[in-house]
């Protein structure tokens, strides 16, 4: 983000924007940048809160009035947290007795499908699922087939799209009920409770063990989900 | 996560490992008109694109156009990183691409107008210099669209 600001400004186009990692903006020195203390993935702070988002935007646009730079300003407001007691409960019980990945992942998918549909309805049809050309059932079945055969996916671009859709499907199902969610709790549920989280951990280990594919492993599992056991540290 | 200092050590170390020197001599374009007369474009590095567009690759410095009239709810992301929260984006695309907020600013007369095309990159896995060529392309497109200023959002 900082680099784009620099290159555009060098081409005589004014820029202003948001930085989520203050240290990076301080070192790269984009022309105008507003550092916010929000989690990665939430540069405007709070979803579905136009007033909060407008306050952030206004602060960043104000930087266009500065007469010299580079300027790195700190936004003073933190995003409000969601008390766990007020967050809707996880709608599904995970883990089954199936002995194969095909059995476990498909059983899990079947339990999540109604919640995904409820979530999509609540969001007026909006969904992030759709990067892959395959259906979610084919995606899950394909991942399971590779795991049961203990083989790496043959088509890495298709695998990348498949796991992006799978993660989006799970997040949307886990947050289907109305209410405000603590995103950290959703993260912990996905990566430490679901069979999909366990499956992606296996893929990660397989990619990581192959010197030619170890870089690809980084997109499979979050950095702080590398520990085998659930952490109470703050995830992204 | 509130401050970088609050992050787990390995996450903090990773983000700080991106600490790089300035890209070159300071670049600064002075303001030529008030905000209320400016034409603004949005650029996100969240890997967003319209549903039918080709997704971003594993590492990818290319960009995708997002028409100003595009339905914000129809945008999806193919960002490679597994390290950012997607639950907020699933709820509200404005969290990373505040197009509805800027339409409201345009309607209120707080900005002059919105660009006809906005742009999306995927900020992951590459050094900043990798984006120089594609950023130059976008700069040319923005000038043809008479854009005065760009509002940048990371993910």
Q: Does B148 touch chain A (CB under 8 A)?
A: yes
Closest chain A residue by Cα to residue B53: A131
Same-domain pairing of A91 and A33: no
Q: Does A189 touch chain B (CB under 8 A)?
A: no
Residue B52 domain flag? yes
Residue A40 domain flag? yes
In angstroms, the separation between the Cα of residue B35 and the nearest Cα of chain A is 8
Separation CA B51–CA B54 (nearest Å):
8
Separation CA A235–CA B11 (nearest Å):
9
- Quote helix, strand, coil % in chain A, to nearest 5: 50, 5, 45
Closest chain B residue by Cα to residue A191: B82
Residue B85 domain flag? yes
Residue A35 domain flag? yes
Residue B87 domain flag? yes
Residue A80 domain flag? no
Residue A79 domain flag? no
Same-domain pairing of A65 and A89: no
Tally of domains within chain A: 2
Separation CA B78–CA B92 (nearest Å):
16
| Residues of chain B scoring pLDDT < 70 | 1-19
pLDDT band at A27 (very low <50, low <70, confident <90, very high): confident
Residue B25 domain flag? no
Separation CA A43–CA A179 (nearest Å):
21
**CB within 8 Å of chain A, chain B residues 39-68:** 43, 45, 51, 55, 57-58
Per-residue pLDDT tens over the stretch A95-109: 778 899 999 999 999
Q: Does B107 touch chain A (CB under 8 A)?
A: no
Q: Does A5 touch chain B (CB under 8 A)?
A: yes
Residue A120, CA distances (Å) to A82, A117, A176, B134 in order: 22, 5, 7, 35
Separation CA B131–CA B121 (nearest Å):
9
Q: Among the three residues A30, A55, A74, which one is the final residue of a domain in this structure?
A: A74
Q: Among the three residues A46, A74, A102, which one is the final residue of a domain in this structure?
A: A74
pLDDT at A36 over 90: yes
Of B26, B55, B138, the CB nearest to A70: B26
Same-domain pairing of A53 and A166: no
Same-domain pairing of A121 and A70: no
Separation CA B18–CA B14 (nearest Å):
7
Q: Does A9 touch chain B (CB under 8 A)?
A: yes
What pLDDT was estimated at residue B4? Answer: 58
Residue A91 domain flag? yes
Tell me which chain B residues have a C-beta less than 8 angstroms from the C-beta of A70.
Answer: 26, 28
| Rounded to 5°, angle at Cα A47 from A108 and B68 | 105
Token readout for A186 is 């959703």
What pLDDT was estimated at residue A70? Answer: 93
Tell me the three state secondary structure of residue A196: helix
User: Which DSSP helix (H) or strand (E) runs through A168?
Assistant: helix A156-174
Token readout for B64 is 């995708």
Tell me which chain A residues have a C-beta less than 8 angstroms from the C-beta of B136.
Answer: 7, 11
Residue B22 domain flag? no
Same-domain pairing of A32 and A62: yes
Q: Which has the closest alpha carbon to B126: B138, B117, B116, B135?
A: B135
Q: Which residue's entry shows tokens 């999540």?
A: A112
Q: Among the three residues A42, A74, A106, which one is the final residue of a domain in this structure?
A: A74
Mean pLDDT, range A172-182, rounded to an integer: 87
Closest chain B residue by Cα to residue A121: B91
What pLDDT was estimated at residue A188? Answer: 87
Same-domain pairing of A196 and A160: yes
In angstroms, the separation between the Cα of residue A26 and the nearest Cα of chain B is 8
Separation CA A91–CA A180 (nearest Å):
14
Separation CA A170–CA B150 (nearest Å):
34
How confident is the prediction for chain A on average, in pLDDT? 90
Same-domain pairing of A190 and A99: yes
Percent of chain A with pLDDT over 90: 72
Same-domain pairing of A156 and A206: yes
Residue A232 domain flag? no
Host domain of residue B51:
35-153
Q: Pairing mode, if any, of strands A14-19 and B149-153?
A: parallel
User: What value of ipTM does the predicted structure carry?
Assistant: 0.91
Same-domain pairing of A96 and A194: yes
Mean pLDDT, range A80-85, rounded to an integer: 75
Count Cβ atoms below 10 Å from residue A98 Cβ, excluding itself: 15
Residue B19 domain flag? no
Residue A230 domain flag? no
Same-domain pairing of A214 and A146: yes
Q: Pairing mode, if any, of strands B117-121 and B39-44?
A: parallel
Alpha helices in chain B (DSSP H): 9-16, 87-91, 99-108, 132-144
Tell me the three state secondary structure of residue B131: helix
What pLDDT was estimated at residue A235? Answer: 46
Q: Does B5 touch chain A (CB under 8 A)?
A: no
Q: Which residue has the higher pLDDT, A89 or A156?
A: A156
Separation CA A145–CA A102 (nearest Å):
6
Q: Does A70 touch chain B (CB under 8 A)?
A: yes
Tally of domains within chain B: 1
What pLDDT was estimated at residue A182? Answer: 86
Tell me the torsion sign for CA atoms B111, B116, B120, B121. Answer: negative
Tell me which chain A residues have a C-beta less than 8 angstroms from the C-beta of B138.
Answer: 4, 8
Same-domain pairing of A89 and A129: yes
Same-domain pairing of A58 and A150: no
Q: Roughly how many angstroms between the first and final C-alpha of chain A, as a whole number?
A: 18
Tell me the torsion sign for CA atoms B32, B35, B41, B46. Answer: positive
Residue A153 domain flag? yes
Residue B11 domain flag? no
Which of A79-83, A150-154, A165-169, A197-201 bottoms out in mean pLDDT, i.e. has the lowest?
A79-83
In angstroms, the separation between the Cα of residue B37 and the nearest Cα of chain A is 13
Host domain of residue A216:
85-225
Of B10, B96, B125, the CB nearest to A224: B10
């Amino acid at each position: 983000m900082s680099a784009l600001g620099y290159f555009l400004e060098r081409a005589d186009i004014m820029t202003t924007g948001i930085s989520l990692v203050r240290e990076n903006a301080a070192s790269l020195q984009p022309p105008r940048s507003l550092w916010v203390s929000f989690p990665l993935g939430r540069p405007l702070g709070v979803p579905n809160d136009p007033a909060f988002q407008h306050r952030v935007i206004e602060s960043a646009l104000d930087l266009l009035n500065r007469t010299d730079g580079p300027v790195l300003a700190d936004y003073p407001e933190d995003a409000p947290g969601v008390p766990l007691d007020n967050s809707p409960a996880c709608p599904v019980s995970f883990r089954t007795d199936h002995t194969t990945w095909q059995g476990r992942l498909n059983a899990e998918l079947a339990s999540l499908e109604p919640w995904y549909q409820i979530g999509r309805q609540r969001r007026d049809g909006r969904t992030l699922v759709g990067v892959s050309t395959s259906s979610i059932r084919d995606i899950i079945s394909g991942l399971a087939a590779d795991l049961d055969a203990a083989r790496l996916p043959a088509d890495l671009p298709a695998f990348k799209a498949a796991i992006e859709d799978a993660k989006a499907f799970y997040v949307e199902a886990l947050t289907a009920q109305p209410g405000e969610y603590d995103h950290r709790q959703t993260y912990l549920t996905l990566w430490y409770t679901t069979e999909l989280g366990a499956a992606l951990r296996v893929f990660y280990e397989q990619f990581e063990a192959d010197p030619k594919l170890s870089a690809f492993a980084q997109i499979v599992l979050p950095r702080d989900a590398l520990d085998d056991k659930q952490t109470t540290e703050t995830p992204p | 996560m509130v401050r970088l200092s609050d992050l787990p050590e390995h996450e903090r170390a990773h983000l700080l490992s991106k600490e790089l020197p300035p890209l070159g001599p300071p670049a600064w374009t002075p303001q030529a008109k008030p905000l209320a007369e400016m034409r603004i474009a949005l650029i996100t590095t969240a890997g967003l694109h319209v549903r039918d567009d080709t997704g971003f690759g594993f590492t990818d410095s290319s960009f995708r156009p997002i028409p100003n009239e595009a339905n914000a709810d129809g945008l999806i992301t193919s960002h490679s990183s597994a390290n950012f929260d997607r639950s907020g984006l699933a709820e509200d695309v404005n969290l990373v691409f505040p197009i509805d907020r800027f339409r409201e600013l345009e309607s209120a007369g707080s900005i002059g107008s919105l660009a006809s095309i906005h742009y999306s990159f995927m900020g992951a896995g590459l050094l900043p210099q990798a984006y120089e060529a594609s950023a130059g392309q976008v700069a040319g497109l923005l000038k043809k669209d008479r854009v005065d200023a760009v509002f940048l959002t990371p993910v």
